[in-house]
Amino acid sequence: MFGLGVAILASAAFTKVVQAQTVFAHFMVQNSYSYSQSDWATDIKAAQAIGIDGFALNIATETPNYEIAKMADAYAAAESLDFKLWISFDMTYNWAEADMVSLVTAHASSSAAYQWKGKPLVSTYAGESQGDSFWSSFKSTLSSAGIDIVLAPAFTTYRDPADASSLLSTFSSIDGFFNWWSWPADVNSLLTTDTDLAYKSAIAARGGPYIMAVSPWQFKNIDGAGDWVELSDTLWNYRWQQAVNDVKPDIVEIVTWNDYGESHYISDINPNVNLGSQAPLYVNGFDHSYWRDIAQYYIEYFKKGSAPAVTLDEVVFWYRAFPKGITCSSGTRPRNADFPADAVFALAMLAEPANVTVSIGSQTTTFYAGAGLTMGSVPFPTEDKQIPYVEIKRADNEVASGYGSVYVDQSGCTYYNMNPWVGRITAT
Ligand SMILES: *[C@@H]1O[C@H](CO)[C@@H](O)[C@H](O)[C@H]1NC(C)=O
């Protein structure tokens, strides 16, 4: 009897341990217009290389058009690569229930359909204005067709921690919740975890996942679609720390994989994607791919539940190409333009302690960094057209060094751009 009891306890503990934490990335299907199935496979492999388990497919249109067909390619590619997907309806568009039901039905039995506790998960961007009756009808129509889903929407007006209980009393139909808010709310201070903790705790009563958004940046400058920046200078480091140390959500959703227009992409810039006429003015040449190195570290941290060892000395650094006070000849000076610091930001990821120097023009900062991750920065200089230099030095030996490849211009620009360029140096 004693032996059996121990075995049951041990297997219950084991089950808990192997229920791995999940990391998704928000994927804008509208940017897949020119994709073939092999383009999907390329993105999926790049995501898998850093530990991402799946994409939340943000679909914008309600009428059958290219996004529906591209989504089918995504499922085919994901099935062959053992990658997961869920549908994230952009409810700021005018979706009809029948179109949503047919899209969910088309993919619910795919081996790539992500399941939460045995049921396919469906998410959204917004959708609270449709009301609970819309969502309960959507779910019961699917249920009648034999598909029981888990609904985990991002009802974006629910941001105030004080509204968490009214989310549940207003929406009897929701099972989980996706907190979209992964940037400060138009304030010049850091994002807190107050919203995360309140909604995570509230939604636990429904059994569905609490999905926490983690984002590296927010800047948009498209006339008619918005012009703003949010304070994001060190967000990509501290938001992940909030996820792994404080919030510990069921699922992290990286916002985003490929939303170029809002500057929070971590994918390589795909030259096939048509971004219209304005986004390319601040996206082209502003590579973010090395932000994935930081994500890889924290994804491993999140899944293990403890800090992984860094094995390769590296500094990832990012900076804007213009000081915030500059006058540009076109574009709109964005809302909150005074918030970001005029500085080069550098995150050291070290196997062993070292001294890290970041310089630009006449400005130099050296900081001691222990094993693991350490954030540093150096302010922009007053001299025009400077480029940063970054160096890792251990005792008197240089471990790695290198330059940024975008100059910081002090004397004029052609378009308001607060999207950073991201570079790295690594030990060879
Ligand atoms: C960092 O620099 C200080 C001052 O030069 C030096 O004493 C120390 O040994 C350096 N630390 C490492 C880990 O290289």
Residue 224 burial (10 A CB sphere; 0-12, 13-18, 19+) = exposed
Report angle CA 372, 376, 378 to the nearest 5 degrees.
160
Q: pLDDT tens digits, residue range 124-175?
A: 999 999 999 999 999 999 999 999 999 999 999 999 999 999 999 999 999 9
Residue 273's pLDDT is what? 87
Give, to the nearest 10 degrees, the angle between helix 66-81 and helix 37-48.
50
For ligand 1, is residue 238 a contact (CB within 6 Å)?
no
Residue 25's pLDDT is what? 99
- Point out the ligand 1 atom lying closest to the alpha carbon of residue 393: 14
Residue 61's pLDDT is what? 80
Cis-peptide, bond into residue 63, ω within 30° of zero: no
CA of 395 to the centre of ligand 1 (A): 5
Q: pLDDT tens digits, residue range 71-125?
A: 999 999 999 999 999 999 999 999 999 999 999 999 999 999 999 999 999 999 9
Q: Amino acid identity of 247?
A: V
**Distance of alpha carbon 224 from alpha carbon 5, whole angstroms:** 65
CATH of domain 22-304: 3.20.20.80
For ligand 1, is residue 4 a contact (CB within 6 Å)?
no
Residue 20's pLDDT is what? 66
Q: Amino acid identity of 109?
A: S
**Distance of alpha carbon 114 from alpha carbon 185, whole angstroms:** 31
Give which of 322, 325, 183 is closest to 263, Cα–Cα. 183
- Are the C-beta atoms of 152 and 121 separated by less than 8 Å? yes
**Distance of alpha carbon 43 from alpha carbon 268, whole angstroms:** 9
CA of 347 to the centre of ligand 1 (A): 18
Q: What is the mean pLDDT of residues 3-8?
A: 40
**Distance of alpha carbon 148 from alpha carbon 175, whole angstroms:** 11
Give which of 256, 286, 228 is closest to 28, Cα–Cα. 256
The greatest distance separating any two alpha carbons of the chain, rounded to the nearest whole angstrom, comes to: 80
Strand ranges in 281-396 using DSSP code E only, listed in sequence order: 314-319, 343-350, 354-360, 363-369, 372-379, 389-394
As beta bridge partners, residue 354 has: 369
Percent of the chain with pLDDT over 90: 91
Sign of CA dihedral 68, 71, 75, 77: positive
Q: pLDDT tens digits, residue range 16-36?
A: 444 469 999 999 999 999 999
Percent of the chain with pLDDT over 70: 95
For ligand 1, is residue 354 a contact (CB within 6 Å)?
yes
Residue owning the nearest CA to atom 2 of ligand 1: 355
Residue 16's pLDDT is what? 43
- Are the C-beta atoms of 213 and 191 separated by less than 8 Å? no
Q: Which two tokens stand for residue 65?
A: 């058009």
The whole-chain average pLDDT of the chain stands at 94
Residue 62's pLDDT is what? 64
- Tokens 């898998």 locate to 48
> Is the overall model pTM greater than 0.85, yes or no?
yes
Residue 393's pLDDT is what? 98
Q: How many CB atoms lie within 10 A of CB 329?
A: 9
CA of 354 to the centre of ligand 1 (A): 7
Residue 274's pLDDT is what? 87
- Tokens 């000395």 locate to 313
- Are the C-beta atoms of 65 and 267 separated by less than 8 Å? no
Of 2.30.30, 2.60.40, 3.10.290, 3.10.350, the CATH number of 314-426 is: 2.60.40
The alpha carbon of 125 is separated from its chain's Cα centroid by a whole number of angstroms, namely: 14
Q: What is the mean pLDDT of residues 259-282?
A: 94
Q: Is the pLDDT of residue 3 over 80?
A: no
Q: How many CB atoms lie within 10 A of CB 29?
A: 23
- Are the C-beta atoms of 135 and 160 separated by less than 8 Å? no
Q: pLDDT tens digits, residue range 325-370?
A: 999 999 999 999 999 999 999 999 999 999 999 999 999 999 999 9
Does residue 7 or residue 200 have the better pLDDT?
Answer: 200
Q: Which two tokens stand for residue 127?
A: 């959708």
Radius of gyration of the chain (CA): 22
Q: pLDDT tens digits, residue range 206-233?
A: 999 999 999 999 999 998 899 999 999 9
Q: Is the pLDDT of residue 6 over 50?
A: no
The ranges assigned to domains in the chain are 22-304, 314-426
State residue 150 phi and psi, 5-degree precision: -105, 120
Q: Is the pLDDT of residue 275 over 80?
A: yes
**Distance of alpha carbon 84 from alpha carbon 82, whole angstroms:** 7
Q: Which of 313, 350, 352, 355 best tests ligand 1's pocket when mutated (most atoms within 8 Å of CB)?
A: 355
For ligand 1, is residue 12 a contact (CB within 6 Å)?
no
**Distance of alpha carbon 323 from alpha carbon 304, whole angstroms:** 39
Q: Which two tokens stand for residue 300?
A: 């491993």
Q: pLDDT tens digits, residue range 295-318?
A: 999 999 999 999 999 999 999 999
**Distance of alpha carbon 279 from alpha carbon 240, whole angstroms:** 27
CA of 394 to the centre of ligand 1 (A): 7
Spatial CB neighbours of 346, under 8 Å, sequence gap ≥ 6: 315, 316, 317, 356, 358, 375, 376, 377, 378, 390
**Distance of alpha carbon 359 from alpha carbon 377, whole angstroms:** 9
